[in-house]
Amino acid sequence: MKLVVFDLDSTLIDAEGIDEIAKLAGKEEEIRKITKKAMEGEIPFNEALKKRVKLLKGLEIEKVEKVANSLPLMKGAKETIEELRKHGIKTGVVSGGFDIVVNKIKNELGLDYAISNKLIVENGKLTGEVVGPIVDEESKGEALEEIAEKVGVDLSEVVAVGDGANDISMFRRAGLAIAFNSKPKVSSAADVVVLEKDLREILPHILKTKTVEDLKKERKEVEIRIKQLKKNISEKRALLRKINRKKREIIDTIRIKNSEANRERALRDKVNRKIKELKAKRKVENMRIKELKEELKKLQSSSGKGDFRKIRREIQALEWKLQTTVLDIK
């Protein structure tokens, strides 16, 4: 399907626009009765339209516009139009109602086309007259053909969605007719009947996709999956925090070990310096012992019987000192 044409009242909006405007004129009950008979096909649409508009004579246009801006969209209307747009399907509205309401809804939903009637206004007030193309039971069907021609699609690729007797002319021309929350006479003329007041219910019939319940189920599954993913992310973050704590502990341990190694290195350097000093001292004392031994040898050679006890004691003292000094560290 390439084009979907909607009725306005009780289809795109959850209200009858003219009935709501009638409240301003205090003619609500009279107009509601006429609307009901027209929608059920009990009286000709053209006759009903003229009678209802005549009862609105004298209403200030500003107040009518205020009512138009307050009319609620049908449940699922925005989502339905957005989904159709995603699939490249053009949308339009054909209404026996008034441009004041129709244009507001067209702009709000982003519809591509709109055809409706126009209330005559003089000096800021309704005259009780109306002009426009939607004047009888066949007018909507002709308007649907007009939109299809503008889009450049065959009528077999057009969907009509409506609830009233004056929508039947659209149903006869469209490739697919959907009666939405409709009156009994309308349902029998449609290919599909949607009873629930949720426009999203028409999407499976147009797109040949899943039902709203299927979409809700899938959404719930996605929400569960998202919840599980969030839980997994939370667990992984907790694990990462634990790893980071362990990493910091390891870094602290390495820092302590490095500090201890530095202290040991400093101590080793100190010991090595001490050993070097002792070795130098030992070398000096070895030289002294050698000198004393040479001196003793000379004395023994020259005198033969001299007193050498003093020199021997000095040599013995130096040798003892050398023996008791720890010089094994290399």
57, burial (CB in 10 Å: exposed 0-12, middle 13-18, buried 19+) = middle
Of the candidates 9, 19, 163, 198, the residue annotated as catalytic is: 9
Of the candidates 7, 163, 167, 198, the residue annotated as catalytic is: 7
Which residue blocks in the chain are alpha helix, DSSP H?
A: 17-25, 28-39, 45-54, 61-70, 77-86, 99-109, 139-151, 168-173, 184-187, 203-207, 212-303, 309-324
Instruction: Report which of 317, 316, 311 is spatially closest to residue 295, judged by C-alpha positions.
Output: 311
Note whether 289 and 319 are within 8 A (CB): yes
Cα→Cα distances 134→131, 143, 185, 212, 319, Å? 9, 8, 20, 33, 135
Q: How many CA within 13 A on the CB side of residue 192?
A: 19
Whether 252 is catalytic is: no
Task: Name the residue type at position 107.
Answer: N
Whether 19 is catalytic is: no
Report, as residue numbers or ranges, the catalytic residues: 7, 9
